[in-house]
A and B are shown apart, each in its own frame.
Chain A
Amino acid sequence: MTDCLTTIQFADDIMPGCRCTTVLWYSDGVDTGDALDRIAQLLHSDMSETSNTSMRIPTPLREAAILAAKELNLAPSATALTTMALRATLEAALTQAALDEHYAQYPETRPKLADLAIAAANLDGNPLAADPERIRRAAAELASVHPDPDPDDVLIWAEARAFRS
């Protein structure tokens, strides 16, 4: 049941208070590594085959999804929107789990806050990317006054410091 409990904790971020009522098919005899490999394989599979499924989701959420799909053009349908969101969630969880396993094996590769902030500057085309040392200083300063800063917070901090000086 450990895997199911993990699922509950993860789902709690999305639907607080929800509880898993179904014992997962892989809960016996499949370790986490095998589960990750299988999830990756499934996400790489041909997605043209579909299944009907009966899921209970909160009614307001369902109505919001229908409206968002129709009026905000987020997806062709509420079902497509649900599928997209589910896929994005699974991909993020899978990648983080794969990275965490990698960091457990090679602890020195776990990125530091400054590394992530530099990557964020690169990806966003932020001019601060040309000055990684400034980002590293900002990361160190911010980490000393903030319990869990985000890489984007570091960039804002570095920009604010540059503005003040």
Chain B
Amino acid sequence: MNPLVVLDNEAIQALASPHHPKHQSTVNHVQLLVRRKKRTTAITLVAPTAVRVEVGWDRASPQWAFLNRLPIADAHLDEGSANKAAAIREQAQVSVADAHIGATVQSAPHLDITVLTSDPKDIRKVVGGRPVKIIRI
């Protein structure tokens, strides 16, 4: 199973805006992932849809042109994910977006999971027992 990389709210905001203080750090990680993809390491990047809602990323909007060109898939908030996210939110007292990140991580079949985040503490609260690399951008 190929590696999975999940982006949190600030990682998306940082990637989208060259003026964001964490833009460079996020670009560095994405550039490295692309280098590895070229070496046939299939890496899946995802943004949970609740995270997209929170940061206002509309895939149909030209304002997000740069991110729209990057192969960042949606992790959908379907029935199962919504149930899991609701339980995580209740238990960990985190935002809806972070709860959806938790649901995405906990239900992913991938063995190698990374979360790019500005808030490792909150992410640790939501990943359950999954071994996840949490990288502060």
Residues of A within 8 A of B (CB): 36-37, 40, 43-44, 84-85, 88, 91-92, 94-99, 102, 105-106, 109, 111, 115-116, 118-120, 122-123, 125, 150-151
Q: Is B69 an interface residue (CB 8 A)?
A: yes
Q: Would A44 and B32 be within 8 Å (CB), given that A98-B66, A109-B23, A123-B114 are in contact?
A: no
Contact indicator B133/A123 (Cβ below 8 Å) = yes
Which of A37, A88, A96, A125 is most buried by chain B, counting CB atoms within 10 A of its CB? A88
0/1 interface trace, chain B 51-82, chain A, CB 8 Å (1 if under) = 00000000100000110111101000000000
- Supply 18 A–B pairs (Cβ within 8 Å), ascending by A: A37-B68, A40-B69, A91-B37, A92-B34, A94-B71, A97-B69, A98-B69, A99-B34, A102-B18, A106-B18, A109-B23, A111-B27, A111-B31, A115-B24, A116-B31, A122-B29, A123-B114, A125-B133
Question: Number of contact residues on B: which range applies?
Answer: 20 to 34
> Which chain B residues lie closer than 8 Å to A118 at the CB level?
28
Contact indicator B66/A102 (Cβ below 8 Å) = yes
Q: Which of A97, A102, A115 contacts B28 (CB 8 A)?
A: A115
The distance from the CB of B40 to the nearest CB of chain A, in whole angstroms, is 7
Contact indicator A99/B31 (Cβ below 8 Å) = yes
Q: Is B111 an interface residue (CB 8 A)?
A: no
Q: Which of B24, B40, B42 contacts A111 (CB 8 A)?
A: B24
Within residues 1 to 55 of chain B, which ones have a CB less than 8 A from any CB in chain A? 18, 23-25, 27-35, 37-38, 40, 42
Q: Is B135 an interface residue (CB 8 A)?
A: yes
The distance from the CB of B15 to the nearest CB of chain A, in whole angstroms, is 10
Q: For residue B27, which residue of chain A has the nearest CB?
A: A109
Q: Would A123 and B27 be within 8 Å (CB), given that A88-B40, A102-B66, A151-B32 are in contact?
A: no
Cα distance, A92 to B40, chains bound together (Å) = 9
Contact indicator B59/A111 (Cβ below 8 Å) = no
Which of B27, B71, B114 is most buried by chain A, counting CB atoms within 10 A of its CB? B71
